[in-house]
Amino acid sequence: MFAGTNIDDIIVLTVLFLSARAAGRPTPGRIWLGQYLGVALLVAAAAAVAVGLAIVPERWVGLLGLIPFGLGVKGLVTAVRAGADGVAPAPVVATGTMSVVAVTVANGADNIAVYTPLFRTIGVADSVVTVAVFAVGVALWCLAGSWLGAHRDVIAVVRRFGYWLVPAVFMLIGAVIVLRSGVLSRLAGG
């Protein structure tokens, strides 16, 4: 799930590492720190919202899967429009740790919609394991972004397919949450 919700981060990290190589700003260390802090903020926000959702009856929590599914549909529509208009994504501009945090949070704010129902449905122990996996995922993403940032031809490929892949993954995650929860059978059966 980390990979699916953060595919777009590969583009951001690649551009940041390219900038670090070309202009020396932000430094690789600031990129790593900013990415970790940004993801930590996103996870903390999702966990807080999930705790707040404890008032939602368990049998209806699966409907929260409609949030990432809807975001996926929205992203798919945006990708189709961008493809039809030939609009290129805006370049990422960051110079220090806090700007990397800001870019990470802004780019990943939609992740809260995916992480919230997950944390709400899997419990505390599994949430701790998930956060640990996310920490490893951030390291892998930074390494991948650094490697990709050294290969300009790779950026074009990631940009080309990232717009389609991210919405598809969001839709898949949302559908899995809804289907696994059994909420559809409750809606159909009354």
pLDDT in tens, 97-134: 888 888 787 777 678 878 888 888 888 899 899 999 99
Its pTM stands at 0.68
The residue segments making up the domain with residue 158 are 2-189
CB of 26 closer than 8 Å to CB of 20: yes
Range of lowest pLDDT (17-21, 59-63, 175-179): 59-63
- Total structural domains in the chain? 1
Cα dihedral 159/87/76/45 (nearest 10): 70
